Amino acid sequence: METKPDIDFSSVLASSVHDMKNSLCLLIQSIDRLSEQAQEQETSSELAKLHYEASRLNTNLLQLLSLYRAEKSSLPVNIEEHHILDIVEEIMTKNQLYLENNQINVDLDIDESLSWYIDIDLISNLLNDIFINAMRYTDSRIKISAKVLENQLMICIEDNGPGYSQHMLEQTSMTMQDLNLTNGRTGLGLFFAKLIAKAHQNEDQSGKIELKNGGELGGSQFILTLP
């Protein structure tokens, strides 16, 4: 009797996710081009919604790939020096269509000379995911600030929306085993953010995330601290 070959389903899934992510990137680029040609406000608004949802899907696929790599070995980190303002401005450019159509104002408090040693791909995707979440729940304003405190970089993304629920505030301490994959709001994004932060280490210190409510705008506050 012929035996069926063993299939590493996780590897097949990772490969499929990678292909889907590439397709989504092309889709997002097409939406951007169409939005530049759109004349009617209603059309532009619908394209902004499509762009937002495609960006969320792309972020989710990136999270799956990173979690797969972390499960196989360790999350690969490529540390180089980068200017924080450049990263934030690129994130804003990616989401400009949604910001404009929803009349969301973004305030920046980041010194243009501020730089840090980070994995730019991981940190950019983390911050973009948090920024997308802030756009979804804000009333009208988002603020992004960055500073060095006690030799650690602190980046804060806050908004003037309703703030985090108590359930979300409690999720920063969760482990992979705590994720409820049968629930629509699994907390995977927060776990991914925590994973990326902890992957950034310097001597005996590692990165961390923190969720709060209040602050200058009165809504949610996401704080990323990197050594």
Tell me, yes or no, whether 108 lies in a domain. yes
Average pLDDT (145-167) is: 93
pLDDT(4) > 60: no
Query: Worst-scoring range by mean pLDDT, 24-28, 123-127, 174-178, 222-226?
Result: 174-178
- Look up residue 11 and give its amino acid: S
What CATH number has the domain bearing residue 112? 3.30.565.10
Residue 58 CB burial class (10 angstroms; 0-12, 13-18, ≥19): buried
Tell me, yes or no, whether 129 lies in a domain. yes
Specify the pTM: 0.72
Tell me the CA distances in angstroms from 93 to 32, 86, 139, 191, one per residue in order.
11, 11, 20, 26
Per the structure, the count of domains in the chain is 1
- Give the closest residue to 47 by CA, choosing from 96, 110, 119: 96
Tell me, yes or no, whether 35 lies in a domain. yes
Q: Can you give the residue range of the structural domain that contains 43?
A: 9-226
Tell me, yes or no, whether 25 lies in a domain. yes
Tell me, yes or no, whether 4 lies in a domain. no
- The rounded percent of the chain whose pLDDT value lies above 90 is 37
Tell me, yes or no, whether 2 lies in a domain. no
